[in-house]
Amino acid sequence: EFSKEEQILQRFFAEAQTSQSLNHPNIARVYESARAEDGTPYLVMELLTGQPLSAWIDSGQAISPQQAAPIVYGVLQALHLAHQRRVIHRDMKPDNLFITRDASGQYVVKVLDFGIAKVMDAAGGMGNKTRTGVLLGTPGYMSPEQIKNSKAVDARSDLWAVGIIFYEMLTQQIPFHAENEFARLTAVLTDEATPIEKTAPHLAAWSGFFRKALAKEPADRFQTAEEMGNALMATVRGGAVSSPAMGMAAPLPAATGNATVAM
């Protein structure tokens, strides 16, 4: 739709170049970008075999803390690098977290789609109506400040989304209940998150972590991915994870659908 619009193409290649610089084991690699003979822009990316995290969440089974915490920690490591490079993802959600395995058989999480938000901004999206009338962004994972002004967000909005994803992994519930996604936008702005100990009493040890992760005011939230990662590990060490060896080799619940390949 936008392949002939030079401003958007320039943004596409600029963001592709930025993504190429994000070399991290928890970020899907972008190797190069170019144009095909007919002018169509494309990316050459790392080939991944596995499933998006959403497939495990949609399985209907809660993911245990000893399985979920290493995944979230890997996401935070990826965001730490990106945020240091002043790259904000702005659309963190389970579909953008891909679970694969390394050579030893351990699970590895890969963050997808860095830079897409800025390309969509150039195309008139991310907080505005697109040309097809679709509101871009994912309401269930947007922070209060992102709902109010999607272009004026910083790293703390990415961290809010990580908090929502982690809560959903552990409980199979969402912290802001509403009849539909757009009602949830209002709930995020006006209601407090349901305390995790109310949703899942056996996860009460995570109460403080989620209270800070889902604070409405950005200043009351974790300020950096590193801080959030340290708090995650401190909660684990404090007994929130009962397994003596928290690792990513433990089996996850059966994912929905067949294995997929993302390019």
Q: How many CA atoms lie within 13 A of 31 on its CB side?
A: 5
Strands annotated E in 79-149: 97-101, 107-111
CA distance linking residue 80 with residue 222, whole number of Å? 12
CA distance linking residue 7 with residue 114, whole number of Å? 19
Exposure class string for 119-151: b at 16+ Cβ within 10 A, else e: bbbbbebbbeeeeeeebbbbbbbbbbbbbeebe
Closest CA to 236 of 201, 209, 200: 209
CA distance linking residue 236 with residue 254, whole number of Å? 24
Measured CA to CA in angstroms, residue 137 lies from 98, 130, 141, 242, 252 at distances of 18, 11, 8, 36, 28
Whether the Cβ atoms of residue 126 and residue 50 lie closer than 8 Å to each other: no
Question: Which residue in the list 38, 58, 91, 158 is annotated as catalytic?
Answer: 91
Is 91 known to be catalytic? Answer: yes
> Which active-site residues does the annotation give?
91
